[in-house]
């Protein structure tokens, strides 16, 4: 039997941030394709809502970095941008995997 517990981060805030990032990416890609299929140009609205939704993963990444005694403010500020949130998640996850 395959064990999925190897893929779930042990830090609860990091697990929450990872789940929110997956939901964020999947939902915004899906909504953008659906709206494009209907011929609706809503890129500006989607881009703004992406940044607003990204505040929650940034907060959890800040808390995860703080619990790991990393530079929490730097991780939190970088995580405000969606690509920076992915980078911060993988940096913290990498520390967890190879520590």
Q: What is the reported pLDDT for 41? A: 86
> Per-residue confidence at 3, pLDDT binned at 50, 70, 90?
low
Q: What is the reported pLDDT for 43? A: 85
Mean pLDDT of 73-83: 94
Phi-psi bin for 67: left (phi > 0), alpha (psi -120 to 50), beta? alpha
Q: What is the reported pLDDT for 76? A: 93
Render pLDDT for 14-68 as a digit per residue (tens, 0 to 9): 999 999 999 999 999 999 999 989 998 888 888 899 999 999 999 999 999 999 9
Q: Is the whole model's pTM more than 0.75, yes or no?
A: yes
For the chain, first and last CA: distance in Å? 26
Asked if residue 81 has pLDDT above 90, the reply is yes
């Amino acid at each position: 039997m395959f064990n999925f517990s190897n893929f779930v981060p042990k830090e609860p805030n990091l697990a929450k941030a990872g789940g929110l990032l997956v939901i964020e990416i999947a939902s915004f890609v899906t909504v953008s394709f659906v709206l494009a299929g209907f011929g609706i140009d809503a890129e500006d609205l989607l881009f703004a809502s992406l940044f607003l939704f990204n505040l929650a993963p940034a907060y959890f990444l800040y808390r995860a970095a703080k619990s790991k005694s990393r530079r929490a403010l730097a991780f939190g500020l970088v995580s405000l941008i969606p690509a920076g949130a992915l980078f911060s998640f993988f940096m913290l996850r990498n520390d967890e995997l190879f520590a």
